[in-house]
Chains A and B, each alone.
Chain A
Amino acid sequence: MIAATTQNPLLEGLQVRRRPEPCAVVIYGASGDLTQRKLMPALYALAVRRLLPDRFAVVGAARTRESDEAFRARMEEAVRDHARDPFDREVWEELAAGMRYCTLEAPDAGAESRLSAILRQLDEERGTAGNRLYYFAVPPSAFEPLVREVAERRSREGWVRLVVEKPFGHDLESARRLNELLAERFAESEVFRIDHYLGKETVQNMLALRFANGIFEPIWNRQFIDHVQITVAESLGIEGRAAFYEQAGAIRDIFQNHLLQLVAITAMEPPIDFTADAVRNEKVKVLRSLHTPGPRSVVRGQYGRGFIEGEEVPGYREEEGVAPDSTTETFVAAKLHVDNWRWADTPFYVRTGKRLPRRETTIAIQFKRAPHPPFEETAAEGLRPNVLLIHVQPNEGMSLAIGAKVPGQGMTIRTVHMDFLYGSAFREALPEAYERLVLDAMLGDATLFTRADEIEEQWSLVDAITAAWKRDRPAFPNYAAGTWGPPSADELLHRDGRSWRRH
């Protein structure tokens, strides 16, 4: 007999997936694009895989007037259009049974009490136990009052977690203000600042690549790496988001968050474990070590008219809602230095832009050349330095460029690629970033979310760059849509005797 033991001996050997505790997810901004394209398909994918809590509910909250039925119908359409799994009526019915809608007419105490009543009712009917995950998919202007209301409505039973979408502020001061607003009412462990890039498998695979393989970490430093190039390229324009983009530009839209997080993941020291604080402690050290680049080390650009996939597209200033003399940048490239022992004198060249020739996010680790190739110069003409290329999207995977002998007489060496494609080695479809992140938030795991101090370090760097921009008026547009940015972006590397990766 097993006496007096509380350990369950039947669980040993069973890989029981951690399932979140019962909870209700409240989506503020439920009528928006993000809810339809990402959040609801992510919840559906989790439901298909039985990863949602047994007792679960979703409350959509937005200003748009809508009934529960209309909300469910709209969400069903969203799932049919955007989910990665085929539509399964049974799964959907189960998910939809716990779905409610609350019309918000902010500022309106009545609306909030309606939401409270819905949540209390769901606790009773669905057993959600007072646990709440609030997802703020709302514009910054709506964020502050909603946070105050959530804090006031906070129940004594159950937990409260807040998922906050970007943009988190528009400069250091506003980000600090938001952090203070949250910190006054919530513990840092209750706040989940989302950067969906961190939910991508390939970004997490960077951690696996570096810290699960004995061969990379010993050479992951200034001694062996010549430089790093990170590209976040989009072929799309602003897609009707002129009001947002005119204020944000490429530096706030992509550079401040996604790009700097990719730099942090690439450059960080090994964490002692994979817990939220251990990982984020190491990332923030990198962000603190980033040397503020001088004006010559940052390039900005704006696209003019050009061609994407053979189709003529308008210039940025011709887009609807954009000022005809707009100086908003649609392209940023920078040479960054991580001032620490590992990376001293090893530049990180980063760039992001809209209307570039193709959609691509890559991290390229370019190694130093072999010190003394014992071949004739002509033999190695086709030889390029070794590059480890991490494809974040699309075609997720990795490539290693190595020199190999061309078969035949004599000695001719060419660069060839060894490829690892996620899609070919692991034949399971990659989960969408939002699936992982929403599930982690329900589980209370903040490892893949950005902490307050990280956000502030990121803004601090961006503020330093934009302060310098205020002093001059750029000659925009300076690159044609469908090209890899302005010539000055190439010069940024040419000055150092380097060039952007060939695509």
Chain B
Amino acid sequence: MAAPLTVEGWDGRDVRLGQVEAELARLRGLSAAEGRGSQQRTSVMTHVAWVPPEWLDAAERTLEGMAERHPSRTIILVPHPESGQSRIDAEIAVRWFPAGDRSVCGELIELHLHGERARAPASIVLPLLISDLPVFLRWRGEPVFDGPQWVQLVEVADRVVVDSSEWRELRYRELAEAFGQAAVSDIAWARLLPWRLELAGRWPGIRDQEIEIRGPRAEAALLRGWLCARLERVLPPAASSRELGVRVEGDELAPQGAGVASPSDLLSAELERFGRDRVYEQAALAAAQLTGV
């Protein structure tokens, strides 16, 4: 992964969105004027992240790890609804990454939404979207599923990425209400891929075999939901454990593939998907049914 050649930044307090666009254009022009060769903005999406303050460090680390993999405009929305004032503070950066004899830029817009301004995030995102490109929404933490922020941003997004392992409650039934509006991804589900590959490779024997699952709540519930839905039978409840593990007929399985994917890799993979993941939807609904949530 290449480090950015240059980073141009700007920040402002109580800003208007027009100012943000103007500053982005100025920063792009600044780099070009400094004669660092032919530069261009190539975007394949707008990446919106809803990041409550307690998730900000983790979100920034994940984005840092993704570096230039997805040339995009990234808009991080940090809500501060309890703030006494109603205003938007902005930190923006234009980062240039080497691309052959040219360089390509990614734009990072971090908006802190204070007070009332945190109530209608879609109205803040819409003017900043890049036309005609898909919008990916990464929702950090547990959404308030009937809150205006979730409802509005899901409406704007083509794909919503959550991580149900970040939730206090496994609220798959409420998440399922978004399935018809946007494609939904779950990082907890993405972590199961090596296990799913391994289990799929055991067909047809696995059809009737005894399967025991243990692991973190979200991953274990989704894996169990998936197996129950696909094999059309009920498996025993998953045991709680820090690490995911599966036994088939008493034999411990090893997941396929090497190593554990980083949060950046997992998010990056989700940003490459477009269509609805019906198998996930089915697994999440089965998990909801089996766990009664």
Contacts and interface: CB of A to CB of B under 8 A. Distances in A.
Considering residues A2, A9, A395, A426, which has the most beta carbons from chain B within 10 angstroms of its beta carbon?
A: A9
Interface stretch (A11-19, A232-240, A297-305): A11-19
B230 A10 contact: yes
Interface stretch (B141-149, B168-176, B274-282): B274-282
B68 A427 contact: yes
Nearest to B273: A15
Interface stretch (B7-15, B114-122, B195-203): B195-203
A460 to B, nearest CB: 39
A9 B42 contact: no
Contact of A9 (B100, B101, B102, B230): B230
A9 B231 contact: yes
A423 B69 CA distance: 10
Contact of B42 (A1, A10, A425): A425
A394 interface: yes
B206 interface: yes
Given A10-B206, A14-B200, A394 B230 contact: no
B70 interface: yes
B44 interface: yes
A395 B200 contact: no
A278 interface: no
A153 B131 CA distance: 61
Given A16-B197, A427-B71, A395 B100 contact: yes
A421 B99 contact: yes
A2 B233 CA distance: 9
B41 to A, nearest CB: 9
B70 A427 contact: yes
Residue picked from B69, B70, B204, B231, most chain A C-beta under 10 Å: B204
B240 interface: no
Contacts of A8: 200, 203-204
A395 B196 CA distance: 38
A309 to B, nearest CB: 15
Q: What interface size band does chain B fall in? A: 20 to 34
Contacts of B26: none
Interface string A1-35: 11000101111111010000000000000000000
A16 B203 CA distance: 14
Contacts of B232: 1-2, 9
A409 interface: no
Nearest to A3: B207
Interface in A424-473: 424-428
Contacts of B99: 421, 423-424
B104 interface: yes
Contacts of A6: 204
B71 A13 contact: no
B42 A420 contact: yes
A94 to B, nearest CB: 11
B18 to A, nearest CB: 20
Contact of A1 (B100, B200, B207, B280): B207
B251 interface: no
Nearest to B103: A424
Given A13-B279, A420-B42, A425-B71, A1 B233 contact: yes
Interface in B172-206: 193, 196-197, 199-200, 203-204, 206
Nearest to A421: B99
Contact of A421 (B70, B102, B227): B102
B54 interface: no
B151 to A, nearest CB: 27
A9 to B, nearest CB: 4
B100 A394 contact: yes
Contacts of A16: 197, 200
Instruction: Please indicate which of the listed interface residues B40, B68, B278, B280 has the most CB atoms of chain A within 10 Å of its own CB.
Output: B40
B142 to A, nearest CB: 25
Contact of A10 (B97, B193, B203, B278): B203
Contacts of B233: 1
A10 B196 contact: yes
A11 B200 contact: yes
A395 B40 CA distance: 14
A327 to B, nearest CB: 38
B232 to A, nearest CB: 6
B208 interface: yes
A149 interface: no
A427 B101 contact: no
Contacts of A124: none
Contacts of B102: 421, 424
A485 B193 CA distance: 55
Contacts of A14: 193, 196-197, 200
A424 B71 contact: yes
Contacts of A125: none
A395 B103 CA distance: 12
A81 interface: no
A419 interface: yes
Contact of A425 (B44, B197, B200, B278): B44
B42 A421 contact: yes
A8 B198 CA distance: 13
Contact of B100 (A420, A423, A426, A428): A423
A8 B71 CA distance: 37
B235 to A, nearest CB: 13
A424 B196 contact: no
A203 to B, nearest CB: 18
A395 B38 CA distance: 13
A354 to B, nearest CB: 23
Contacts of B69: 427-428
Given A13-B278, A13-B279, A421 B100 contact: yes
Nearest to B189: A13
Interface string A92-131: 0000000000000000000000000000000000000000
A146 B94 CA distance: 59
A14 to B, nearest CB: 6
A9 B193 CA distance: 15
Nearest to A13: B279
A158 B286 CA distance: 44
B100 to A, nearest CB: 5
Contacts of B199: 10
A394 B68 CA distance: 21
B3 to A, nearest CB: 13
A77 B230 CA distance: 48
25 contacts: A1-B208, A1-B233, A2-B207, A2-B231, A6-B204, A9-B230, A9-B231, A10-B199, A10-B230, A12-B230, A13-B279, A14-B196, A50-B257, A419-B40, A421-B42, A421-B99, A421-B104, A424-B40, A424-B71, A424-B99, A424-B104, A427-B68, A427-B70, A427-B71, A428-B69
Interface of A: 1-2, 6, 8-14, 16, 50, 394-395, 419-421, 423-428
Given A8-B203, A10-B231, A16-B197, 6 more contacts: A10-B196, A395-B101, A420-B42, A421-B42, A423-B100, A424-B102
Give the top 7 A-B pairs by smallest Cβ distance, nearest first: A13-B279, A424-B104, A10-B200, A8-B203, A9-B230, A424-B42, A423-B99
